[in-house]
C-alpha cells in the first residue's frame, strides 16, 4: 500500500476511495443516471455545487488530512502484523499447536477474504454507530456531517481523532482475523484480491461507492437495500432529519438486524448538514480541527 504524503497519490492507489478507476466508474454510472433523470442535471453539473463553500472546504481539508495521516496518525498506530503475531502467540500458549486439515489453499483464501470483509464491515458499522451515540465521539464526527453539500472528497472530511480510531479498528480486525487463520492454517492464507485489494471491497468501490458522497440519489430497491447500502441510503444518513440511521459501510444487513435501517423509498426530501446552531462551529478550516475540543470543554 502506498504511504501517500502527496495527495495526488490517492488517485493511483487502489486502496483509496478516490482511486482513478473508482472515480471513472462513478462518473459513468452518474452519467447514465443523469441521462435517465434530466431534472437532476442542473444541480449535479452546477458551479453552485462544486464551488460551494462547503465543497471548497472539503478540497482544502483533504490535502491537510492526507498529509497529517502520514506524518502523525500512522506512526501512532499499532500494525496489523503485530496484532496477528500476538493473537497467534496467544492461541499457541493457550491451546498448543493446532492445524485445521481438509481444506485446499483456494478454499482457505476464499474463507479468509470473506471473513476479513464481513468482520471489517461489522466493526465499521459499530464504530460508526458509536460515533453518533456517544456524545464525546459525536463531537468529532460532526466534522464529517457538517458538509452542506456532498462530493467524493467529503469522505475524507474526518477529524484526526476519528481517523485514528478507524485506523486502530482496521489494525485490530485485520490482525485478529489474520492471527486466527495463521494459527489454524499456518502459512496457507492469502486474500482473493484485485490489484492487491480485497476483491469484495474492490468490487463495491468500483460500482459506485464515490456516489454515496454526492447528489446522485441512486436507490437499489427495497429488497437489495436490506443487504447493501445504496448511495441514496448514505445520503439519507447525511440528512439532518435522519442522521442516526444507515450506519453501514458496504452492507446494510447490520442496520437491518440492529434496527437502524431506513430504505430510500421512505425519504423524499434530503437536506444535508447538522443543526443550525452547530453549523457555525464548522464553517472554516481551523474550526474543523479545533471546534470539537472547544465544544467538549464548553459542555463540562
User: For residue range 14-56, what is the model confidence (pLDDT) as tens digits?
Assistant: 999 999 999 999 999 999 999 999 999 999 999 999 999 999 9
Alpha carbons 98 and 102: distance in angstroms, whole number: 13
Question: What count of residues does the chain have?
Answer: 300
Alpha carbons 45 and 111: distance in angstroms, whole number: 43
Alpha carbons 72 and 86: distance in angstroms, whole number: 24
Answer yes or no: is pLDDT of 2 > 50.
no
pLDDT in tens, 58-83: 999 999 999 999 999 988 899 999 99
Nearest alpha carbon to residue 295 among 124, 161, 129, 168: 161
Residue pointed to by grid coordinates 447528489? 215
DSSP β-bridge partners for residue 194: 197
pLDDT in tens, 234-272: 999 999 999 999 999 999 999 999 999 999 999 988 999
For residue 174, give the C-alpha cell. 485485520
CA distances from 237 to 26, 62, 99, 186, 286 (A): 20, 21, 44, 41, 25
Alpha carbons 28 and 115: distance in angstroms, whole number: 31
Predicted confidence band of residue 299 (pLDDT cuts 50, 70, 90): confident
Predicted pLDDT at 3: 53
Burial bucket for residue 137 (CB in 10 Å: 0-12, 13-18, 19+)? buried
Amino acid at each position: 500500500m502506498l504511504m501517500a504524503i502527496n495527495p495526488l497519490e490517492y488517485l493511483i492507489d487502489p486502496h483509496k476511495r478516490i482511486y482513478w478507476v473508482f472515480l471513472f466508474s462513478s462518473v459513468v454510472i452518474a452519467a447514465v443516471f443523469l441521462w435517465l433523470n434530466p431534472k437532476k442535471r442542473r444541480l449535479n453539473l452546477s458551479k453552485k455545487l462544486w464551488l460551494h463553500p462547503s465543497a471548497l472546504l472539503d478540497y482544502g481539508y483533504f490535502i491537510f488530512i492526507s498529509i497529517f495521516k502520514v506524518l502523525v496518525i500512522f506512526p501512532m498506530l499499532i500494525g496489523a502484523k503485530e496484532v496477528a503475531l500476538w493473537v497467534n502467540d496467544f492461541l499457541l500458549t493457550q491451546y498448543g499447536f493446532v492445524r485445521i486439515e481438509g481444506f485446499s489453499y483456494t478454499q482457505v483464501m476464499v474463507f479468509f477474504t470473506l471473513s476479513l470483509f464481513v468482520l471489517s464491515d461489522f466493526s465499521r458499522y459499530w464504530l460508526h454507530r458509536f460515533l453518533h451515540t456517544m456524545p464525546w465521539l459525536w463531537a468529532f464526527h460532526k466534522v464529517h456531517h457538517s458538509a452542506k453539500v456532498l462530493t467524493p472528497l467529503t469522505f475524507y472530511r474526518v477529524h484526526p481523532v476519528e481517523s485514528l480510531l478507524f485506523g486502530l479498528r482496521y489494525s485490530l480486525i485485520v490482525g485478529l482475523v489474520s492471527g486466527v487463520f495463521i494459527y489454524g492454517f499456518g502459512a496457507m492464507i492469502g486474500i482473493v484480491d484485485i490489484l492487491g485489494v480485497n476483491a469484495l471491497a474492490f468490487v463495491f468501490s468500483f460500482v459506485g461507492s464515490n456516489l454515496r458522497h454526492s447528489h446522485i440519489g441512486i436507490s437499489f430497491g427495497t429488497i437489495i437495500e436490506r443487504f447493501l447500502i445504496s448511495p441514496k441510503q448514505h445520503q439519507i444518513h447525511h440528512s439532518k432529519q435522519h442522521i442516526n440511521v444507515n450506519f453501514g459501510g458496504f452492507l446494510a444487513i447490520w442496520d437491518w438486524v440492529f434496527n437502524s435501517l431506513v430504505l430510500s423509498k421512505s425519504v423524499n426530501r434530503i437536506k444535508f448538514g447538522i443543526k443550525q446552531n452547530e453549523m457555525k462551529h464548522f464553517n472554516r478550516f481551523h474550526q474543523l480541527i479545533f471546534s470539537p475540543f472547544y465544544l467538549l470543554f464548553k459542555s463540562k
